[in-house]
Structure 1
Amino acid sequence: MLDDELHFLLLKAFNHSNRRIDAAIRRIGLLPGQPKIIECLAEQDGLTAKEICTRCILDKSTMTGLLKRMETRGLVRREASETDRRSYRVFLTKLGRDYAARIAAIMQDADAQATRGMAPVEAVALNTALRQVIANLEVADAVEQDAAEQDAEKEG
């Protein structure tokens, strides 16, 4: 039965959560992907685009378009990096910080809905278990990537 399989439960939970969050962020005028970037910069302002890509699990082409739209709307500003003139650092503007507070409320509501009926200790255990699932899958991805690179070297 699919409802007993972890991969299906993770996908189903993601879809419900994502639909709820997506609707709420669209109501405040943001596009998918933008809230993650704003949350990331609210946590640590002045990151490079590459650092944001890594933390937000976004590819470079998606990041470029999102940052351009966000800069046009006045949510972020870019400054040339002092140590590497080829890159730049991204900072939230005052408007971006105002949105960060609104996004935090949306995400807190989504988390509260997702964990409704759970004891606080259960919610903490869920987060801990999900972090372990993510770590396990990241290791598996790295092993598979290494194997693919070794196969490509043998063929090439």
Structure 2
Amino acid sequence: MSPFTPSGDRTVPDRDEASRRVKVGVGDLAVSSDGATLTTSGLGSCVAIALVDPATDTRGLLHAMLPSADGDASHTPRPAKYVDAGLNALLEELASAGASPARLEARLVGGAEMLDLTAAVGPRNVASARESLDGAGIPVVAADVGDAVGRTVRFRPDGSLAVRAADGFERTL
């Protein structure tokens, strides 16, 4: 099965010809069950939600900018822009790809406080992600959120999530 990318195919060859990367842009999502590495960068106050069904190796990655679509998320023209509507869209795509909602595990990354503003978008994104995942019955098994540093993630075919912070620190969730 080829990776799903709602705003077009952004599959690019990796250094190793046997593997591929699918770039997930801001306000976008992708699903893969064919061994592609899902990547996203520019996670400042944005939040990435990485979901995996370990039994089918089906993975999905959402890069959301804002906590809530405020209103009827089903009519949002770009649902992946928002944590709540984006998670719903990601769950639909994962189910279509063969993932079971009952087996999904989540990892959260991002939600930094990049600017000293009263809006506190980063922490609100993290809170919305946790609330939405809890409402869907999906456990958060690992997180790298908050602080004041941007991040890049690579969601590998084995279900691990490599997180590289802008300060050069890298860890695997």
Larger strand fraction of residues = 2
Q: What TM-score, normalized by structure 2, do the two folds share?
A: 0.22
Which structure is larger by alpha-carbon Rg, 1 or 2? 1
The structure in which a higher percent of residues are helix is 1
- State the TM-score, normalized to the length of structure 1: 0.23
